[in-house]
A and B are shown apart, each in its own frame.
Chain A
Amino acid sequence: QVHLVESGGGVVQPGKSLTLSCEASGFSFSKYGMHWVRQAPGRGPEWVALIYYDGSNKYYVDSVKGRFTISRDNSKNTLYLQMNSLRAEDSAIYYCASQGYDSSGSYYYYAMDVWGQGTTVTVSS
C-alpha cells in the first residue's frame, strides 16, 4: 500500500530555514516523479515543486525559485524540500505527492496521485 509521511514542519521566524522530509513506502519510489504542494488555511492547493524520478530535472513555482530546493534520496525512499529565506506567505500545510502510473497505457502521468497527510509550516516572528 502506497504511503507517504511528511515531517519537519514547525514554527520558524521570517528569514530562517527549514527542511521537510517525505518518507515513501509501499511502491517503487525510484520510478516515480514527486511533487510538493502546499495549502494555506482556507485556500486552495498551490503547486510548489516537481522532481523527476531520478532527480535529473527539477521545477519550481516562481514564488519559491532561488529559495526552495527539492531533492530526493532513492536509496532512502525519501523526498526533501529545503526552504530558505522563509516568508510569512510560505505558511501552509506542505504535502508531498507522487505521480501516478497508468497501467493500461504503461506510462507515468504528471498528476498528483497519492498524497501524504501533510506537515504544517508556520512562519512568524
Chain B
Amino acid sequence: QSALTQPASVSGPPGQSITISCTGTTSDIGTYNFVSWYQQSPGKVPKLVIYDVHKRPSGVSNRFSGSKSGNTASLTISGLQTEDEADFFCASYTSDKIFVFGGGTKVTVL
C-alpha cells in the first residue's frame, strides 16, 4: 500500500487561506469517506483536526475544514495564524482494511 501524496510545503501570509491536497487512489480516498488530518508541531504529538473527510473533533477551530473530490482530499486553513505553523498529515482507510498516511506538508506562515 503506497503512501498518500501531499505537497512538501505550503505557505501563506497571516489572514489568508491555504489548501493542502492529499491524493490517493480508488482503493482508499476514492472509495472511503474515512479521511483524517493531523497537525504536528515540532516535538509534539500529532493532533487530530479533521475526521471522516470534513468533521471536526470537539475543540478544533472552525478555521480548519476538509473536503474530498474523487481520489483527492483537501484540508483548508482559513484566516491563517502563526500558531498554525506545523506539519500536516492526511490518512485514509483502505480496501486492505488498513490505514495509510501521507508524507506530510509543512505549513509556513510568511
Contact = CB atoms under 8 A, between A and B. Distances in A.
Interface of A: 35, 37, 44-47, 50, 59-62, 95, 100, 102-103, 109-113, 115-118
Contacts of A118: 45
A45 B57 contact: no
Interface string B14-44: 0000000000000000000010101000000
B46 A45 contact: yes
B1 to A, nearest CB: 7
Contacts of B58: 103
Main secondary structure of the interface of A (DSSP, over half): strand
A46 B101 contact: yes
Contacts of A95: 45-46
Interface string B42-70: 00011110011001011000000000000
9 contacts: A45-B38, A47-B99, A62-B1, A109-B34, A112-B48, A112-B91, A113-B48, A113-B57, A115-B47
B57 A110 contact: no
Contact of A47 (B45, B47, B101): B101
Contacts of B100: 47
Interface of B: 1, 3, 34, 36, 38, 45-48, 51-52, 55, 57-58, 87, 89, 91, 93, 97-104
A63 to B, nearest CB: 10
A100 B48 contact: yes
B98 A61 contact: yes
A60 B99 CA distance: 9
Contacts of A102: 51-52, 55
A30 B48 CA distance: 21
Nearest to B104: A44
Given A44-B3, A60-B98, A112-B38, 4 more contacts: A44-B104, A50-B98, A111-B36, A111-B51
Contacts of A47: 91, 98-101
B52 A109 contact: yes
